[in-house]
Structure 1
Amino acid sequence: MSHSTHTPTSTEATAAWFDQTFAAAPLMAILRGTGVERAVALASTAWDLGIDSVEVTLQSDEDLQALREVARLGDERGKVVGAGTIVSARQIPLAAAAGARYLVSPGLDPRLVHAAGEHGIPMLPGVSTPSEVQLACDLGLTWMKAFPALWLGADWFRHIRGPFPQVRFVATGGMDATNARQFLDAGVRVVAVGSALEDPQQLELLAGLLHRTDI
């Protein structure tokens, strides 16, 4: 999968960038606190499976090293790697320098959205209420991370599509191969999985989701 190296400079360009990034697969991978070696192994598993996008969370110096190495390998394979758990503007230049192509935050902080824009990096903020979705829309965003998705439930997405039909959601939190289909059927565009990548039985189910033709 090829991706533009052009840095998004507007909310429209950012939306188009996420549209392209997530176009080929309804799944993404999240690597949290894995260490460098395990991060590389899990990222490779995800890419081999057909998952194009991998997020490495940033909560320690070792996470930054993992992001740098996964991003380097991702570039070699034409894959997009992002940095997650962005809760401070100080993390943004570090993530960018390590090779992150997009940022993910657990919550919605307009200051972080603006800071990401100043660095020319797409931001996927976390939302869990209609008010947060409305605020994100007001900031010009159309792609959002719904967190924690399992707690929200699949029906939340069915209801939220009424007033916000233009919003595209990435479901994160408690997602795996056993419940991903339920959320995709509810209108979620992308489901983010983590530990499922280390379970051979779940890998087979994830492979089936990646080859669905009715999404």
Structure 2
Amino acid sequence: MNSILNDIEQNKLVSIIRSDRSNEIVEVVHSLYRGGIRIVEVTMNTPGALKGIEKIKELYPDLHVGAGTVLDSETARAAILSGASFILTPTLKQSTIEMANRYDVPIVPGVFTPTEILTAYEYGAKMVKIFPIRTLGPKFISDIKGPLQHIAIMAVGGISIENVKEYLSAGVSALGIGSSLVEDTLVHQGNYEEIEKRASKFVNIVNKVQPSNRL
């Protein structure tokens, strides 16, 4: 569990893949991988998400593939059995955290307030996902890291090329990136080259701001 979380903290970037066409997932991952992304999240409301996770794991053994938009413990278990390396949720639910911990798989629950952050940690989560961060901004991260510096934070919801540096400087452990990286229009157009370019830009910014031994 800790090694995967360490890899997430080292690489900083988690690409969120949400698509209405299951056959597009692998092509998207190809592009992200070529752009330097090594951690992806396939949302569970994507058709064929579980098979997508299995396929990605098969094609890219060195890629960490997580399941996102996990709403309950049953879905968490199904994702884990399909090979998900980690679980992300949009909300805080104790039973889901307990299920992931039972299988020794990292879970990053969605939280929004200091109380929820601490509660998630007390339930057994080692990292939390502040979502949607666009509502709060980077200053919220630096404020929270004062009293709760022992809890790793992933910021999700509104991360873009323009604000990556701000969030890293504020003290986030990781960033979840959705439409600013894997945009629906690009996917539907089959413009995977642009997705690769965007991935490279994000990776380059992270490497300049915070050089590390990436996967």
How does the TM-score come out when normalised to structure 1? 0.83
Deviations 1:122-147 (A, max 9, x none): 21111110000111222243311111
Q: Distance in 1 between matches of 2:74 and 2:124?
A: 23
Aligned partners of 2:145, 2:83: CA distance in 1, in Å?
33
Q: CA RMSD in A?
A: 2.0
1:62 is matched with which residue?
48
- The letter of the residue matching 1:67 is I
* Runs of 5+ unmatched residues, structure 1: 1-13
Q: How does 1:67-146 map to 2 (within 5 A)?
A: 67-75=53-61, 78-146=62-130
Q: Deviations over 1:27-52 (max 9, x none)?
A: 11010125333211222222222221
Structure 1 residue aligned with 2:208: 212
Instruction: Decide which of 180, 184, 189 is 2:168's aligned counterpart.
Output: 184
Helix, strand or coil: the match of 1:66?
helix
Alignment of 1:25-40 (within 5 A): 25-40=11-26
Call closer, same or farther: CA 1:23–1:131 in 2, change over 3 Å: closer
Amino acid at match of 1:105: T
Structure 2 Cα separation of the partners of residues 209 and 93 of structure 1 = 35
Aligned residue among 15, 18, 34 for 1:48: 34
Change (3 A) 1:213 1:180: closer
Query: Aligned letter for 2:104?
Result: G
Q: CA deviation at 1:116?
A: 1.4
For residues 213 and 156 of structure 1, what CA distance do their matches in structure 2 show? Answer: 20
**Aligned-partner Cα distance in 1 for 2:20–2:10:** 26
Work out whether residues 33 and 63 of structure 1, in 8 Å CA contact, stay in contact via their aligned partners in 2: no
Q: Does 1:161 align with 2:145?
A: yes
Same amino acid, percent of matched pairs: 26
Contact 2:87-2:105 within 8 A present in 1 as well: yes
Offset at residue 149 of structure 1 (A):
1.1
Return 5+ residue gaps in structure 2 as ranges: 187-193
Tell me the number of residue pairs that the alignment of Structure 1 and Structure 2 aligns: 199
Cα offset for 1:62? Answer: 2.2
The separation in 1 between residues aligned to 2:204 and 2:46, in whole angstroms, is: 34
Moved over 6 A (4+): none
The residue number in structure 1 matching 2:177 is 193
Bigger relative contact order, structure 1 or 2 (CA pairs below 8 A, ≥6 apart)? 2
CA contact (8 A) 1:35 1:63 kept: no
Amino acid at match of 2:171: G
Partner Cα distance (2:149, 2:103) in 1: 29
